[in-house]
Amino acid sequence: MYFSKYVYYKKINNDKHLFFNMLNNAVDLIENNNINLSNFNEINNYDPKTIDYLMERGHIYNSIDEENELIDQLQQISKKITSEEEYLHFYCGVTMECNLACSYCFEKEIGKQSVMTKETIDKMFMTIDKLCNLHENIKKRELTFFGGEPLLTDNFITVNYIMDNLVRKNMESNFITNGVDLNHFIEFFRINENNISTISITLDGPNNIHDKRRVFQSGEGSFEIISRNIDLFLSENLSIMLIIRINIDSKNYLSINELIDYMVRKEWFKKPIQLQFCKVEDNSEIGVNDIIPNDQLMSFLGDIFNLYETNIVEKMKIKIKGIEKLNSIFNTDKLTLPMFNYCNTSNLYVFDPNGNLYVCPQSIGDLDNAVGEYTPYYGINIIELMKWQKFTVLDNKNCSKCMYWPVCGGGCRYSSLKNGGKKNKSTCRNIHAVVEKSVNDYISRIIVSN
C-alpha cells in the first residue's frame, strides 16, 4: 500500500489529527494516539478499519501507480471541461497611454503607442470571428476594455466605435479603468448599459495612502477625482456592476479598513458594487517591492471580514490565486479539481493597439511573448501559443515533484517564461504557509463549533 504524498498532516491534540488531501480536497479528522508528523504516513500505524476509511477517502492507495492514474483521469477531466467551455474572453488594449503613473504598474516600461485606429479595430473584430471558429461550443463572447487607460477623454470616439461593433455582434463588455476621466463617459455608459457587465476602478486605500501610489505625472494624487466620479456613476443607478479593486501590498494593507469605512459612509455598498481584494505581484519581473506574503494577507483579511456586517462582507471578494482555491475547499461545499494551471489562458486572447496578439493581459507589449498578430495580416505562432495553452504544472519537473502543486498551479506562467521557464519563486516561498494558515483556521473553527 501507498500513502499519498499530497496529504498535509496537522496534529490537533494527542489523539486527534487532521488530514488534508490537496489532490482530492478531502479533509478528515483521524483519531489515533500513535501517530505524529514523522510517522503519520506509515500504514502499519493504523487498524484495518481506519485503513479502509483512509483508502475510501483517497489518503491511501494500493500503489503509487493507482494515484498516478487518478491524476491522469483528473487532468483529462480538466482538459475536457476547458475544451467544452462555451465562452471566449478578449482583452482590448485600446491604448497603452495613461494619465496616471502608478508606482507598481507592470506596463510602466512599455513604450507608449497611439490609440487603436478604425482600421485596427475592424481587423480586431475580424480576428475575433476567426478565433471563435478555432474553438468549438462557443456561445458567449465578451470583451474587456483595458490599457493603458481606455477611458481617456481623447479616446471617446474610439471606445464608442468598438462598442458599436460589440452591440452589433451581441457581445458583452467590461471596463478596467482608473476612473479619472469617467465623468466624460457617463452618457456613454447610460446608453450602452445593457451591453456592459462590469466596470472596475482601483482605490488603494484612503486618500492619504492612495495618493502616494496612484498619482498623475505631476505627482498629484487622484483619490478625490476618482471618488467624485464614483459618486457620479452610482447616482445613475445603472445595472452595471461597479467593482472597487484594492491592490494590496505591505505599504497599504493596514489602511484597508479606513477605505471600507469611507465606502460605508458614502453608502456605496447600497448600490450594485463589489469590493475586490487583489495582491500586488511582480509577475512582469520589473522589480516591484513591498509584496506581502499570502498567509499574512489571509490573516489580515480575516480580521477585516470580522469588522463588518454580513451584507457588506458578502460584497467582498478575494481575487488572489491560491487563497481563492483554499477558501473554496475549506469554506464551501464546492468540489474543485487540482490546479493543473495557475490561470486559464486557453479561452483568452489579448489585443494590443499595434496589431499584436497575446494570451495574457500582463504580457501585453512584450513582443517576446506575443503569440501572433492581427494586423496588417492575421497569423498565429502555434509554437508560442502552445507554450501557454498546452502547458500544465506537471510539465515543470520541479513542480511535479512538489506535494503542493494541486493547490498552487505552479504560479504565474508569464513570470515563469520571463524567468527562463523556471518555477515561480515567490509562489514556492509562500504556498506552504498559506496551506498551514488555512488548516489552522479550519481547526480553530472546529474547536469553536464544538
> For the segment 19-56, what is each residue's pLDDT rounded down to a tens digit?
999 999 999 999 998 899 999 999 999 999 999 999 99
d(CA 377, CA 356): 10
100 & 168 share domain: yes
Strand segments (E) across 35-139:
60-61, 87-93
CA separation, residue 78 to residues 82, 265, 337, 363 (Å): 6, 44, 7, 25
Establish if 176 belongs to a structural domain. yes
Strand segments (E) across 228-307:
241-248, 273-279
- At 227-248, the pLDDT tens digits run 999 999 999 999 999 999 999 9
Segment 114-135 shows an average pLDDT of 93
Segment 93-112 shows an average pLDDT of 76
Give percent of the chain with pLDDT exceeding 90. Answer: 70
Higher pLDDT, 199 or 110: 199
94 & 56 share domain: no
39 & 152 share domain: no
d(CA 272, CA 276): 13
d(CA 257, CA 58): 41
Establish if 79 belongs to a structural domain. no
Segment 334-343 shows an average pLDDT of 88
Sign of CA dihedral 334, 431, 26, 450: negative
Establish if 2 belongs to a structural domain. yes
The three cell numbers of residue 249 are: 501590498
Q: Which of 79-88, 90-99, 387-396, 415-424 has the lowest mean pLDDT?
A: 415-424
Domain containing residue 189: CATH number: 3.20.20.70
pLDDT at 423 over 60: no
222 & 310 share domain: yes
Give percent of the chain with pLDDT exceeding 70. Answer: 94
Establish if 367 belongs to a structural domain. yes
Count: domains in the chain? 2
196 & 311 share domain: yes
d(CA 184, CA 136): 39
166 & 227 share domain: yes
pLDDT at 81 over 70: yes
Q: What are the φ and ψ backbone dihedral angles of 434, each rounded to 5 degrees? A: -65, -45
190 & 228 share domain: yes
Mean pLDDT of the chain: 91
d(CA 291, CA 312): 27
Half-sphere CA count of 173, side-chain side, radius 13 A: 23
Q: Terminal CA-to-CA distance of the chain, rounded, Å?
A: 34
Q: Is 27 helix (H, G, I), strand (E, B) or coil?
A: strand
Q: Using omega within 30 degrees of 0 as the cis cutoff, is the peptide bond preceding 148 cis? A: yes
219 & 268 share domain: yes
pLDDT at 79 over 80: yes
Q: What are the beta bridge partners of residue 276? A: 245, 317
369 & 224 share domain: yes
d(CA 373, CA 352): 9
The dihedral formed by the CA atoms of 77, 83, 88 and 90, expressed in degrees to the nearest 10: 90
Q: Last residue of some domain: 360, 389, 418? A: 389
Q: What is the pLDDT of residue 110?
A: 57
164 within 8 A of 158, measured Cβ to Cβ: no
Establish if 433 belongs to a structural domain. no
239 within 8 A of 272, measured Cβ to Cβ: yes
Q: Last residue of some domain: 389, 424, 441? A: 389
pLDDT at 112 over 60: no
**Residue 109 buriedness (CB in 10 A; 0-12 / 13-18 / 19+):** exposed
pLDDT at 288 over 80: no
Q: Tell me which residue range forms the domain holding 278.
A: 88-389
Strand segments (E) across 171-319:
172-177, 196-202, 241-248, 273-279, 316-318
pLDDT at 106 over 80: no
Q: Which residues contact 381 (CB under 8 A, 6 or more apart)?
A: 370, 371, 372
Q: Last residue of some domain: 44, 62, 80? A: 62
Establish if 376 belongs to a structural domain. yes
Establish if 441 belongs to a structural domain. no
21 & 118 share domain: no
Strands 356-358 and 348-351: antiparallel
pLDDT at 332 over 80: no
326 & 264 share domain: yes
d(CA 362, CA 358): 9
Q: What is the pLDDT of residue 239?
A: 97
Q: What is the pLDDT of residue 242?
A: 98
Establish if 447 belongs to a structural domain. no
Segment 275-295 shows an average pLDDT of 79
321 & 373 share domain: yes
